[in-house]
Structure 1
């Protein structure tokens, strides 16, 4: 009985050791180089009298419209100062409803005017559970 127990313990230790050796082996990392992009192909003209003007970035990219001047009362203020002054009012819905209150509708119209006058602003719109 004792030799049988010793044999089982020996096989168990051997199995765990073998498992640990194979699991902890250093893995070889293979890096495959990415192929270089092919050079752009330009059409070849067979007519020697034909010349093409070089294409510039200005020809490819459309020009952006000039920004409209921001509201003078808010222009040039620090971001933290603007956040403290709260130029955009919160918009609430009726309790347990998807309908906006009349006050929220007027706040929404005022917020739209402020954002229209300041097109460079980036505004994050978030929805939360009722905070009232």
Structure 2
């Protein structure tokens, strides 16, 4: 270590919003808004950071979560596991991707289903 004679000021840090704004400009991040039923939102708390969680807002019995993500594909798969207790508000690209996954699942599982008891 070498003394420089300069005084450190811990207040020269970027705010979270400034950091996210710069990151969005550099990385072409897309904002995604997802609504969860409040009782289901607690199950998403650990996973939401994987998808670029920014903030949340509670409204009555719902929780509105905002994400900034590079991967529409990744964030589109995630709500499927929560069934009808989650609603994607925006962008439309996520809704289109979710519908595509649902169609793929319908095609995959439209064959004859063998009851587990017969396996």
Which has a greater percent of helix? 2
Higher RCO, 1 or 2 (CA under 8 Å, sep at least 6)? Answer: 2
Asked which structure has the greater CA Rg, the reply is 1
Class of the TM-score when normalised by the shorter of the 2 chains: under 0.3
Q: Normalization by structure 1: what TM-score? A: 0.20
